[in-house]
Amino acid sequence: MVPSLIFLRNVIKFSHDQKLPFYILGAGSNVLLSDERVNGIVLKLGGIFKAISFSNDLSHVSAGGGTSLIKLGNLLAEHGNLGYSYMAVIPGSVGGAIAMNAGTTNEGEIKDHFVTAQVFDPLTEKINEYGNGEMNFSNRSSSLLKTTNIVLQASFRLSPVEKRNKELAIQKIKELRSSRQAKQPKNPKTFGSTFKNPKGQKTAGWYLEKVGMKGMRIGGAMVAPEHANWIVNEGNATSNDVKSLIEIGKNRVYEEFGIRLQREVIFFPEDIEERV
**Residues with catalytic roles:** 140, 193, 264
What does residue 68 show for φ and ψ, rounded to 5 degrees? Answer: -65, 125
For the chain, the helix, strand and coil percentages under 3-state DSSP, each to the nearest 5: 35, 25, 40
Q: Give 235-275 as a DSSP string.
A: SS--HHHHHHHHHHHHHHHHHHH---PPB-SEEETTTSPPB
For residue 156, give the nearest of 226, 205, 102 by alpha carbon. 102
- Alpha-carbon distance 118 to 131, whole Å? 9
Q: Are 150 and 118 in contact (CB under 8 A)?
A: no
- DSSP H/E element including 33: strand 31-33
Rounded CA-CA distance 45/150 in Å is 9
With H, G, I as helix, E, B as strand and everything else as coil, classify residue 76: helix
Q: What is the enclosing helix (H) or strand (E) of 169?
A: helix 166-183
Q: How many residues does the chain have?
A: 276
Cβ count near 208 (within 10 Å): 25
